[in-house]
Structure 1
């Protein structure tokens, strides 16, 4: 893996546009003790973790969502929310967001091959980038010879009244070959955005929707539209039973599996899906 990271870092240094758009070569490193790619950003050490997404029928992993973990040399451990909140300038936030995705991609595809990989896009990036959403990240994937169709770009919770911005972003990401997932908390938004955007995947927040009487009807409609549905934040066995009853077959959450360090990807994972 060290060779691959070094080769990519050298290639990054020779390309003026991606070097500006994706971060600087010295912001990528490799921790040989823990066998993982690292990011360095204004005093923060960035590492990847990956939470499994399960097919409840068959009890097997069908993909992972990446999360960044950071440690600041003065502030200590920072949550992802606090890490991004520290970036007052849009340009810094964009660079951090893209650096995180690069670190995740290097760790994931150089350690295991269980696509798709779900990567979050920060909400401020949607406005901070004027056009060509996904162009810089597509350059990274092309450099690593990774099919963009193996990446699901996961967009933040957004309401149907933000449709013009969302439509523009989704159109651009699809132009560069990425799949799209939308995070949803309110069931009416799920139906509205399914018809307006038709994402590949809708992720429903179990904490908000698991107990709603109309959840099975909404799930059936989404499936008729050939949109995959994933229940997120499955933290309790009771939620798992409810989403099963609603017809949802894919799920993630701490009850099923906590985020894993990069070196453990591909290892057998026990899951309590009953």
Structure 2
């Protein structure tokens, strides 16, 4: 394994049995063991948040053309021994307090880093990790310092991780900028989410992230897409299109890329479903390019 400190940590987890946080008793519940971590028989890191056992799934982000994997986005999933589990997007919304939502978010990001880097080598593409909207206000100051300490302890490269912030309303932009500044101070690259190309154009001017992820289901205005791609290229900001789930959207994006002579980056069920195992880095059999 390329990451010796992570290897040693996984060895300790693998040798830890007979307690509330082990695979022998993954459903034990108490506030004190809410963030226990263990390994399953497949070597996946699994964590617990109260009565819920959770782990990671990864969806590839690909470039048009050859379909090369250029990044992965991590998602929290309920733990299952036989499949990739269920999406846990509602779990943070149902957390009882801000402190618990912060704890859950940090647990998820820790699991994602462990499960990603235990599979990835030295040439691993970047990893995209979402930050839940509730955390924007829940953390009082210095966003990112706790996560940076975890990565440093495991000797994992934080510079390959992009923290992806959620869609915000216009009156939350000040909070978004505050959080972005804190994460930057802790050395992270940053992405933001947009519901449409027009919203992404506004973020491009006011937030200046490293990348923007745009919902590909809202591409009704070709002019705004073209303007976004051109202006982002001028500013060195990468644009990713998410939720590419059918051939019609694929064809639109392919036309934009050809017309502007730009590489298009996209992810969606047209190519990949989130899975525990990382996908091959070459072209996908589902891609119609």
Q: TM-score, normalised by structure 1?
A: 0.85
- 1:85 corresponds, among 83, 86, 93, to 93
- 2:274 corresponds, among 227, 247, 259, to 259
* Unmatched runs of 5 consecutive residues or more in structure 2: 1-5, 16-31, 258-262
The equivalent of 2:143 in structure 1 is 133
- 1:29 corresponds, among 38, 41, 44, to 38
In structure 2, how many angstroms separate the alpha carbons of the residues matched to 1:6 and 1:41?
22
Alignment of 1:218-229 (within 5 A): 218-229=228-239
In structure 2, how many angstroms separate the alpha carbons of the residues matched to 1:25 and 1:5?
19
Alignment of 1:35-50 (within 5 A): 35-50=43-58
The equivalent of 1:60 in structure 2 is 68
In structure 2, how many angstroms separate the alpha carbons of the residues matched to 1:266 and 1:102?
23
In structure 2, how many angstroms separate the alpha carbons of the residues matched to 1:224 and 1:136?
34
Question: What is the CA RMSD across the aligned residues, in angstroms?
Answer: 2.4
In structure 2, how many angstroms separate the alpha carbons of the residues matched to 1:199 and 1:9?
39
In the TM superposition, residue 145 of structure 1 has moved relative to its aligned partner by 1.1
The answer as to 2:114 corresponding to 1:117 is no
In the TM superposition, residue 7 of structure 1 has moved relative to its aligned partner by 4.8
SS of the aligned residue for 1:261 comes to: coil
The equivalent of 2:260 in structure 1 is none
Q: In the superposition, relative to structure 1, how do residues 239 and 9 fare at CA in structure 2: closer, same or farther (>3 Å)?
A: same
- 1:70 corresponds, among 75, 78, 81, to 78
The equivalent of 2:163 in structure 1 is 153
Q: In the superposition, relative to structure 1, how do residues 8 and 170 fare at CA in structure 2: closer, same or farther (>3 Å)?
A: farther
In structure 1, how many angstroms separate the alpha carbons of the residues matched to 2:12 and 2:175?
36
In the TM superposition, residue 3 of structure 1 has moved relative to its aligned partner by 4.1
The answer as to 2:269 corresponding to 1:238 is no
In the TM superposition, residue 200 of structure 1 has moved relative to its aligned partner by 0.6
The answer as to 2:265 corresponding to 1:250 is yes
Question: Which is strand-richer, 1 or 2?
Answer: 1
Task: Kindly indicate whether the alpha-carbon contact (under 8 Å) linking 2:35 and 2:49 is maintained by their aligned counterparts in 1.
Answer: no
